[in-house]
Amino acid sequence: MKRCFRPTGPWVRSEPASPWPSGWACSTAIATLRDPSHPQRLAESYHQARANPLWQPLERVLDEQLASTRLGGSAADSSSGRDPALRDYILLITILVAFLEATAHQLRQIQPPVVIGFSGINRIEGSDTTS
């Protein structure tokens, strides 16, 4: 039985917000990255990720891992070893996560120059409001 959350109400547009239907979120069929409806969605992301300096080293490491898994035993027929679309998707997500983690490590808490509370507006000592 196919189940998919569909919001209702006057604020919901009758057409989907995205230019394509969600093949993964609303399907009981097994989704694959080789499905003709999916590659175009990620084409620009793949193009940018392949231009990233991390792509080639990560590709080499992943290929070595897949080769050792195939030679080593139980996962000899693993679909990840034979599916280039899945391999590229793994590399894309790995690079995305690496950038998200690097960005998160560079963030620092923002100290507002003033705080508004029930007792009024208070200036925080040591903050510079002349920017």
Euclidean distance between CA atoms 102 and 77, whole angstroms: 35
DSSP at 52: S
Mean pLDDT to the nearest integer, 59-67: 91
pLDDT tier for residue 1 given thresholds of 50, 70 and 90:
very low
* CA atoms within 13 A of residue 66's CA, in its CB half-sphere: 19
pLDDT (0 to 100) of residue 103: 92
Query: Which of 93, 39, 86 has the alpha carbon at shortest distance from 66?
Result: 86
Q: What is the mean pLDDT of residues 94-110?
A: 91
Kindly state the average pLDDT of the residues 20-43. Answer: 68
Q: Report the pLDDT value the prediction gives residue 36, as an integer from 0 to 100.
A: 74
Residue 49 has pLDDT above 90, yes or no: yes
What amino acid occupies position 116? I
Whether residue 91 lies inside any domain: the answer is: yes
In-domain check, residue 125: no
Helix (H) or strand (E) holding 93: helix 84-106
Tokens representing residue 55 in the block:
């792509």
Q: Is residue 10 part of a domain?
A: no
Give the pLDDT of residue 76: 41
Q: Residue 75 pLDDT > 50, yes or no?
A: no
Looking at residue 68, its pLDDT comes to 86
Q: What's the mean pLDDT in 78-84?
A: 60
Residue 22 forms part of a structural domain:
no
Task: Report the number of distinct structural domains present in the chain.
Answer: 1
User: From CA 70, how far away is CA 93, in angstroms rounded?
Assistant: 22
Q: What confidence tier does 59 reach under pLDDT thresholds 50, 70, 90? A: very high
Per the domain annotation, does 88 fall within a domain?
Answer: yes
Residue 125: φ, ψ to 5°: -65, 135
pLDDT of 71 higher than 50: yes
Residue 93 is assigned to a structural domain of this protein:
yes
At residue 120, the 3 state secondary structure works out as strand
Print the domain residue range for 70. Answer: 39-106
51 within a domain of the structure (yes/no): yes
Flag whether 33 is in a domain.
Answer: no
Mean pLDDT of 93-122: 90
